[in-house]
Amino acid sequence: MALPIPGRVAYVNARLLDPATGHDGPGGVLAEGERIVDFGPGLFCPPSLPEGTERVDCGGHCLAPGLVDIRMQLREPGYEHKESVRGACWAAVNGGITAMVCLPNTLPVIDDVATLEFVARRARMIGLTKVYAYGAATKGLKGVEIAEMGLLAEVGAVGFTDGLNAIADALVMRRALSYAATFGLTIVQHPEDPALAAGGVMNEGEMAARLGLAGIPPCAESILLMRDLRLVELTGGRYHAAHVSTAEGIEAIRRAKDKGLPVTCDTAPFYFALNELAIGDYRTFAKLSPPLRGEADRQAVVEGLRSGLIDAIVSDHAPQDQDSKRRPFAQAEFGGVGLETLLAVTLDLYHDGHMSLLSALRLLTSGPAGLLGLDAGRLRKGGAADLVLFAPDRAWQVVADTLVSKSKNAPFDGRPVQGRILRTVVDGRTVFAVADGINRKRS
């Protein structure tokens, strides 16, 4: 059940960050009910507040718009033993995520109005992170018959995708791009040629040969991308490439953007913070789709982020239960959880000097929100009071068993990181907070 609507709350003594406007400096936010009343650098100077205002002293920590995650798997309905709406929402607020978009690969598939409305209703009842959904691009995610995009768009689908399945048929992709364009919505593709990837379980190369595992060649990504980009040129449809992981794929997207095509892309922390060496001695938590690549590809992803070519960072949250992961590597399921580690691992880009703190945050807030037209990821007077307070330099270690996610398949298990979430606020309600010396009192 949703928490009661709060009164007037002032967040003071913060390092205020708003990537959408480029603001980075001392400041505060005044919220009333579910909305932001005001924000800025001189808001509480002198430090007097209207009577009855609750004062939250941020202790000099970073206060920013809540994170926006546009690629994650909810698993409910149908796979609640792996994850649930409630479990995913709790994990998300622990990770500072105030809005997220789930893939349609539930059971039943989100290819009809009833299933889409079920997911939206469950999220509203829980009252934590805001949950949006993609509609299936094809019925049953089978890649054959276009789904009822018009009906799905009317009830809130924010884009269309076949989730973990690539739309492999060129004619189907052409029709999908054309149809989605009539509603001003985007086709999101898992860019991996299924014929080239068939049977593969990790990146093709020397390490796969040494481990005796079937490989997926990096060109499986770029070949499908290049085909799709030609279809974008033909149809004018909006196209988004999910979790790009190779230098060749990134180069194909760069050429498309240089032509002015309506093309965007994202990546996940797995692909700029890890490479195929993380598999080690058949470590199934590092079995992901697309697979972890070689070091040259990892560096290309970092450069794509640094240069601004990659538009967003997503969690690519793919929870798997123990029975799915504790198998021989070739038989284990693909995927890793990532909601709770999204900010901390992304901040590696800042701590390692690849980009500023504001630039890194933009990839998690206004960047992804803008791609799908979500009213999120920015500070705005009258906008929703969705906020995250975090300490960017605070160190901690990822321990899979302590994560809130129902499934514990964390590729970053054991990794030391910097960046701790201190408070998450959704529609003015504090839905997560740690006892960290952050003072609350009423004026």
Which of 250, 246, 255 is CA-nearest to residue 218?
A: 246
Those residues whose C-beta lies under 8 Å from the C-beta of residue 423, and which sit 6 or more positions away, are 56, 387, 388, 389, 430, 432, 433, 434, 438
Q: Provide DSSP, 322-367.
A: HHHHSS-TTTSPP-B--TTTHHHHHTHHHHTTSS-HHHHHHTTTHH
Give kind and range of the element (H or E) at residue 228: helix 219-235
What per-residue string of b and e applies to 28-61 under the rule 16 or more CB within 10 Å gives b?
Answer: bbbbbeeebbebbeebbeeeebeeebbbbbbbeb
User: Residue 138 pairs with which residues in a beta bridge?
Assistant: 146
The string of DSSP letters for 281-328 reads: TT-GGG--SSPP--HHHHHHHHHHHHHT-S-EE---B----HHHHSS-
Count other C-beta atoms under 10 Å from residue 3's C-beta: 13
Please give the Cα distance from 415 to 360 (Å, whole number).
20
Q: Give, in order, the Cα–Cα distances in Å from 53 to each of 263, 280, 286, 428, 429.
A: 45, 54, 48, 13, 14
Q: Which neighbouring-strand residues pair with 101?
A: 132
Query: Which value, to the nearest 10 degrees, does the dihedral of the CA atoms of residues 325, 330, 334, 335 take?
Result: 50
Q: Is 274 within 8 Å of 294 (Cβ atoms)?
A: no
Q: Which residues pair with 130 in a beta bridge?
A: 99
- Say which residue the tokens 């691009």 belong to: 137
Count of other CB atoms within 10 angstroms of residue 353: 8
**Beta carbons within 8 Å of 316's beta carbon, 6+ residues apart:** 71, 72, 242, 243, 268, 270, 288, 336, 338
> Which H or E element spans position 148?
none
Q: What tokens appear for 378 in the block?
A: 């920015």
Query: Which residues carry out catalysis?
Result: 316
From CA 173, how far away is CA 146, in angstroms rounded?
9
